[in-house]
Amino acid sequence: MTDLLLHTAQELYKLPRTGRRAVVMTMGALHEGHATLIRTAREEAGPQGQVVVTVFVNPLQFGAGEDLDRYPRTLDADLAIAEEAGADAVFAPAVDEVYPGGDPQVRISAGPMGERLEGATRPGHFDGMLTVVAKLLHLTRPDLALFGQKDAQQLALIRRMVTDLNFPVGVVGVPTVREEDGLALSSRNRYLSAAERHTALALSRALFAGRDRLAAQAALRARAEASPASDERATALARLGEIRASADAHAVSAAGAGLPDAVRAAALHILDEAGRHEPPLVLDYLALVDPLDFTETGQDFTGQAVLAVAAKVGSTRLIDNIPLEFGAHS
């Protein structure tokens, strides 16, 4: 396994290049979510290509009071997982290899999108993330870079940086990997006690409740379009005493209104309940956003959106999200 391991830029530069090179950037503490990224990179690079995994806990991404010191370092286990998943090399540099002059004076700015949601909670986080991603792209010189969709805002910002600054690399998003109970895989899950983990399941349950509400409302909308006179029908049914049928017809008539708010409300109901658990879930944000700039969606929004949530359970902060599609026949 040590044959995979590279510590310096010079070692990386000497790595023979074969076919397409795909890179998977991590902060270590690898789990099945990372293994899925590496396996996908192996597929994308092809049998003649090359997969490089980076393992670097980037201090620029951690603010005051965050968990830099206790962030897990498990390099031996990471090497085994990377090799099993199909990596050709693991680049695990020291901090002074990546930042040889100390903290860099020139950094990438995440701009307005980097100040929203995660950026509002963790000022400077995305500037630090983009700075190290830019450096690692220069060092590894890949054709493709793969990132998990669980960190949706990070993925959106990397895509924006690559486009705006003309990086010659393709960015591939890989769907979130979940435990059987729905909890999104994260290196921070290991910090959760059994009771905290039970509370944390509310994050994925809330997202799925929002998704299910959208599907139900979309089905009602389809019925409304097939029965454009449903409001008049509801009034007629009420006169005849058909209260249940009348209520259904009214629901069909109103199906097209307020879809984003209905999705948010369904998710928030689950999160509010979890706030009364022991231990409680402490909500940071629930947001339904446009993935292009992470601004909140309006009531007439159509197209793909991201339903995102962040919360603390005990001392552990967790994030999760799912993509949703809004349209006439969502």
Q: List the catalytic residues.
A: 34
| Those residues with Cβ within 8 angstroms of residue 166's Cβ, 6 or more apart along the chain or in another chain | none
**How many Å apart are CA 23 and CA 133, to the nearest integer?**
11
Question: Which uninterrupted H or E stretch holds 57?
Answer: none
Give first-to-last CA distance, the chain, whole Å.
48
Chain Cα centroid distance, residue 55: 19
Query: 279 preceded by cis ω (within 30°)?
Result: yes
Question: What is the β-pairing status of strands 281-289 and 144-148?
Answer: unpaired
DSSP 212-250: HHHHHHHHHHHHHHH-TTHHHHHHHHHHTT-HHHHHHHH
The HSE-up count of residue 31 (CA atoms within 13 Å, CB side) is 15
CA angle 62, 2, 140 (to 5 degrees): 55
Q: Contact, 128 vs 60, CB < 8 A? A: yes
**How many Å apart are CA 255 and CA 140, to the nearest integer?**
50
Question: What is the β-pairing status of strands 21-26 and 5-6?
Answer: unpaired
Taking only Cα atoms into account, the Rg of the chain, rounded to an integer number of angstroms, comes to: 23
**How many Å apart are CA 273 and CA 202, to the nearest integer?**
9
Question: Which uninterrupted H or E stretch holds 28?
Answer: none
Q: Name the amino acid, one letter, at 59.
A: P
